[in-house]
Each structure stands twice: as C-alpha cells, then as structure tokens.
Chain A
C-alpha cells in the first residue's frame, strides 16, 4: 500500500477550525483515503473516508486535492474531546488491511 506523510503534531485553539494535512504522492487511482483517530487510552475509531470527491459527515470534512496527492481532514470547531492522534491511511480498492503510520497528535488548547 502507498505511504502517507503527516506532521507529527499540531495545536489548535478550542472552538476554532483545524486543518490536518496528509501527503500521499504515490497514491494510485483506486486507493481510498481513510482517516481514523485514537483518543487517549482507546482503540482507533473511524472518522471519514473518500475516493475522489470531498466528503462531509457529522464528525468532519475531507478535502481531497484534484490530483489526489494530498488531502486535508477538517474539524470545523475543535473541542477538547478532539484531542487525539489522527491517522491518514490509504487502502487499495480490494485491500482488507490498514497500515498505520505514527499519525498527527492534535492538542486542543482551551
């Protein structure tokens, strides 16, 4: 599976939007982009995923670059509960495995 590159850490003020970037320059045309997050002392949980078009759900939005070589997870209004490690993962269309990197550790400042 293609690799992703994320910043090790980011900070955000509470109630402000957060943009978490992910680079995946070797992505192939059929790779899905998945985002998971891991709250302290918990297992990872699903956030959002997409293929080509931007996606929205109740937790976040996913903005995918036109060339698909990068994507951005957008938390519209950060809360203290959003402090977590966020993982950007690529999965082939027929794949059934995730390869987690080290993710981005998000700190939310009150």
Chain B
C-alpha cells in the first residue's frame, strides 16, 4: 500500500474560520487528489494536482483552495468554513500511464458548527 497520511484525522471548527487539511505521501506519485464524501453522493473530486505547483479544479471546488509546494505534500484549505463543508475528506495519490491507479488515505472527518 502507498504511504499516505492525512492530518488531522478529526476536526471540529466553527463557521467562518479557516481550516487546512494536510496530505502527505511517501511514494513519489505524480498525481494527488482531494475528494469529499457525503451520504448519498459517493466521492466527489474537489481539486487535484499533476505536479509541484500544478493544480486544477474538480467538480466541487467552490470554497476550497489547494497548494502543492513539494511532491509529497498536498494541502486543502477552506478559507472560511461553512456548515455545508462538513464532510469526510479523502486524499489520494495516482500513478501514471497504462497502469494508472489511485491510492487513498484514511480520511479526515471535518465538522463545521
């Protein structure tokens, strides 16, 4: 399994506060992803990165920003958290080429009160 860690694993915050979630990988994978998972919706892509300093939006990117200054770290920031951003957040890394696969972290449960 790819070495993917997420921090924090659980967080409770208040509406309007900034929040940063961290994803760290030890596999040197090129691609990294942030998903959110809500009941009845499966996993939805927020943002992804295809290299250091190279990022792009996913299907639910509003209210989120990302940064990737090193291959191993991908940060997800909620500039001003809202209750609608209460969710479980998963980070994933991806290989490339015909053997492409994604590997997922353990998830971060975020509650915005």
Partner-B contacts on A (CB < 8 A): 32, 34, 36, 41-46, 49, 87, 91, 93, 95-103
Task: Contacts A43-B90, A49-B101, A91-B100 given; indicate if A97 touches B106 (C-beta within 8 A).
Answer: no
Please tell me if the beta carbons of A93 and B50 are within 8 angstroms of each other in the complex.
no
Asked if B103 CB lies within 8 Å of chain A CBs, one says: yes
Please tell me if the beta carbons of B41 and A102 are within 8 angstroms of each other in the complex.
yes
Main secondary structure of the interface of A (DSSP, over half): loop
Closest to A89 in B: B102
Contacts of A91 in B (CB 8 A): 100
Closest to A93 in B: B98
Please tell me if the beta carbons of B50 and A100 are within 8 angstroms of each other in the complex.
no
Partner-A contacts on B (CB < 8 A): 31, 33, 35, 40-45, 48, 50, 58-59, 90, 92, 94, 96, 98, 100-107
Closest to A34 in B: B101
Give A44 to B31 CA distance when docked, in angstroms: 16
Contacts of B44 in A (CB 8 A): 100
Contacts of B94 in A (CB 8 A): 96
Please tell me if the beta carbons of B106 and A103 are within 8 angstroms of each other in the complex.
no
Lowest 8 A-B CB distances belong to which pairs?
A: A43-B104, A100-B43, A102-B42, A100-B42, A43-B90, A44-B104, A46-B101, A96-B31
Please tell me if the beta carbons of A97 and B48 are within 8 angstroms of each other in the complex.
yes
Contacts of B42 in A (CB 8 A): 87, 100-103
Give A89 to B50 CA distance when docked, in angstroms: 20
Contacts of A102 in B (CB 8 A): 40-42
Give A40 to B4 CA distance when docked, in angstroms: 18
